[in-house]
Amino acid sequence: MGNYLNPGNSGFEAVRRSLYVDKSGLIRQINNTIGTIQKLTCISRPRRFGKSFAAKMLCAYYDKTCDSSSLFDDLAIAKDEYYQKYRNKFDVLYLDMTGVIGEVELADIVSYIRENVVEELREAYPGLKESEGFAPTLANAVKQAGNKFIMIMDEWDAPIRETKGQPEIQRKYLEFLRSLFKNSGLTDKIFAAVYMTGILPIKKDGSQSAISDFEEFTMVKPRQFGSYVGFTEDEVQKLCQEYHRDFFKMKQWYDGYAFRGVESVYNPNSVMKAIRNDDFDSYWTQTSAAESLMGYISLDFDGLSRTVAELIGGGEVKVDTKAFANDLVTFRNRDDVLTLLIHLGYLAYDEETERARIPNQEIRLEFARTVREVKRDETIRRVRESEQLIDDTVHGKAEAVARQIEKIHGEEAPLYYNNEQALRSVIKRAYFSYADEYMKLEELPSGNGYADIVYLPKKDSVLPALVVELKWNKSAEGAIRQIKDRRYPEVIRKYGGDILLVGINYDKDAPAGKRKHACVIEKYEERE
């Protein structure tokens, strides 16, 4: 077993010894490409979404120098008709490009790979005929081995990301990839299949044409790989049952991604940590991805600050993902920034509606924390106003609450409402900085109906819970009566703290000069 040629199954063996969710169906997808013109697969995923686990699994399955039957016989792939045909039948070339970068100067990446892979090929195949180029030497190894290679590249785009402003290094790396994957005479002779992962999709400007023949699957369109992006709802429910964890909290914290045919996808790294630690927290903070959020939402594009406030409040925004250049430096407008955040996992995207949203409590908390550090006057004003609104609410200052909601409506909403749902959109924007102290629950089944919005204090918070009922062309007092009559607070009564009832009404026919928004705030007194 080598570092790059046939690395064995020890990596996946360690994965199996830990908490494990069966994602072996991914192997079937790659098996279906073997020997076809679709044999080059490129999958982009955010950090901490299981890319390396998948790469280790594929290495263990295909590597012919080991017997991995004990690792796969109890998994879903064992039922596939090609399971035995392809298991442990290939030479595997495995390149973890972040690992390579850690071993060598950036300028020497290509020569380092060539020298080390060829050295391991010599050890595996004494008498190997070496040719002048790297690809011809691989082709000679295929002849001697009697089988083609499966190539697995983890974080293939790391050299591109790490060499911003160094085009010559990027050019050499891309030429190296071109020699492997766009060589009409040798690519088909060398590779049975290639599985390549990274954070960003392939660049659109032609500079990465070396890999333009790959079938590509992204966070915008994962297609048949949607269920392998993260954990599905069924998988998380089974984990929660097995380890006695609160599924409702798991869903609030880590769900929110959805793809065609897969309605709920959870952040796998965070789910696993929540189970191991028995603690629901923002584990995203512990990833390097979190460090870059401020730089992106600080970019000076019209409407970006307002859009971020709307997203944090729970809103959805239309995003044109088609023009994004698929890099970390080329931004032309707000849509380019939002598209990058989709690929990085900060936003969930619905390809049918073309709308994006913050997926869950974990990411919303990161946005709320980060937005306070953004050095832009408009952003600072919005944060302060939202924090003041929450303070006015918990202190029962109904007039101040009504004034601020009126202000938000005038600044950010359409000129009119046509239903309570439109009013709810403005309320969520107004309270967008709630994430530090509260969890937001919408249409919560409670008593004899559904509470419009409930802001439930987080553990150890001294703030009261807020039960918000919205009315359109009725009255704020009527909203309070409905909360009481239908006993909406009953479902959160056991949380142990005070509960405030907040009724908000919008009167579209209010006379000129009179405020259209009205608010009533009362402390909840439990009935005998």
Note whether 453 and 468 are within 8 A (CB): yes
Out of 173, 188, 217, a domain closes at: 217
Q: Would residue 35 be called left, alpha or beta, if left means φ above 0 and alpha means ψ between -120 and 50 degrees?
A: left
Angle CA(153)–CA(211)–CA(344) in degrees, nearest 5? 65
Side chain identity at residue 145, one-letter code:
A
Side chain identity at residue 499, one-letter code:
I
In the predicted model, is pLDDT for residue 287 greater than 70? no
Choice between 406 and 515, residue whose per-residue pLDDT is larger: 406
CA dist., res. 495 & res. 151, Å (int) = 53
pLDDT score, position 288: 53
pLDDT band at 415 (very low <50, low <70, confident <90, very high): very low
Out of 371, 406, 435, a domain closes at: 371
**Do 130 and 258 fall into the same domain?**
no
Find the distance separating the first CA and the last CA of the chain, reported in whole Å.
73
Is 63 part of any domain? Answer: yes
In the predicted model, is pLDDT for residue 324 greater than 80? yes
**Do 45 and 81 fall into the same domain?**
yes
Is 225 part of any domain? Answer: no
Side chain identity at residue 342, one-letter code:
I
pLDDT band at 189 (very low <50, low <70, confident <90, very high): very high
CA dist., res. 217 & res. 351, Å (int) = 13
CA dist., res. 193 & res. 151, Å (int) = 7
Is 223 part of any domain? Answer: no
**Do 348 and 405 fall into the same domain?**
no
CA dist., res. 346 & res. 337, Å (int) = 11
Provide the number of structural domains found in the chain: 3
pLDDT score, position 528: 47
- Mean pLDDT (whole number) for 374-380: 73
Closest by CA position to 466, among listed 371, 401, 403: 401
- Mean pLDDT (whole number) for 211-226: 92
pLDDT band at 185 (very low <50, low <70, confident <90, very high): confident
pLDDT score, position 48: 87
pLDDT band at 205 (very low <50, low <70, confident <90, very high): low
Lowest mean pLDDT across 74-78, 218-222, 360-364, 513-517: 513-517
**Do 340 and 435 fall into the same domain?**
no
Note whether 405 and 519 are within 8 A (CB): yes
**Do 181 and 135 fall into the same domain?**
yes
Share of residues in the chain with pLDDT > 90 (%): 59
Which sign does the torsion angle of CA 238, 244, 245, 246 carry?
positive
Lowest mean pLDDT across 23-27, 226-230, 300-304, 320-324: 300-304
Residue 140 has which token pair?
Answer: 């000679």
pLDDT score, position 426: 85
CA dist., res. 238 & res. 90, Å (int) = 34
- Mean pLDDT (whole number) for 369-385: 78
Lowest mean pLDDT across 99-113, 203-217, 388-402, 407-421: 407-421
**Do 117 and 45 fall into the same domain?**
yes
Is 466 part of any domain? Answer: yes
DSSP result, 255-320: --EEETTEEEEE-HHHHHHHHHHT----GGGGSGGGGGHHHHHTS--TTHHHHHHHHHTT--EE--
Q: Would you say how long the chain is, in residues?
A: 528
pLDDT score, position 164: 79
Q: What are phi and psi of 513, to 5 degrees?
A: 90, -10
In the predicted model, is pLDDT for residue 178 greater than 70? yes
**Do 433 and 287 fall into the same domain?**
no
pLDDT score, position 416: 53
pLDDT band at 496 (very low <50, low <70, confident <90, very high): confident
Is 322 part of any domain? Answer: yes
Q: What is the pLDDT of residues 81-105, one digit of tens each?
A: 999 999 999 999 999 999 999 999 9
**CATH number, domain with residue 469:** 3.40.1350
pLDDT band at 209 (very low <50, low <70, confident <90, very high): low
**What are the distances in angstroms from CA 291 to CA 17, 47, 370, 435?**
31, 12, 9, 19
Share of residues in the chain with pLDDT > 70 (%): 94
Cα Rg of the chain (Å, integer): 27
pLDDT score, position 204: 62
Lowest mean pLDDT across 13-22, 76-85, 161-170: 161-170
Q: By residue range, what is the domain housing residue 323?
A: 231-371
Out of 159, 192, 217, a domain closes at: 217
**Do 192 and 87 fall into the same domain?**
yes
Is 376 part of any domain? Answer: no
In the predicted model, is pLDDT for residue 472 greater than 80? yes
**Do 297 and 163 fall into the same domain?**
no
**CATH number, domain with residue 20:** 3.40.50
pLDDT band at 527 (very low <50, low <70, confident <90, very high): low
Is 380 part of any domain? Answer: no
Lowest mean pLDDT across 13-17, 478-482, 512-516: 512-516
Is 226 part of any domain? Answer: no
Mean pLDDT of the chain: 89
**Do 14 and 161 fall into the same domain?**
yes
In the predicted model, is pLDDT for residue 163 greater than 70? yes
Q: Which residue has the tokens 């044999």?
A: 39
Q: How far is CA 176 from the centre of its chain?
A: 30
**Do 349 and 479 fall into the same domain?**
no
CA dist., res. 166 & res. 105, Å (int) = 13
Choice between 418 and 84, residue whose per-residue pLDDT is larger: 84
Closest by CA position to 151, among listed 70, 62, 83, 78: 62
pLDDT band at 479 (very low <50, low <70, confident <90, very high): very high
Note whether 334 and 301 are within 8 A (CB): yes
- Helix 304-312 to helix 334-343 angle (10° resolution) is 40
Question: Residue 322, class by beta-carbon neighbours within 10 Å (0-12 exposed, 13-18 middle, 19+ buried)?
Answer: exposed
pLDDT score, position 290: 46
**Do 133 and 261 fall into the same domain?**
no
Q: Which residues pair with 451 in a beta bridge?
A: 444
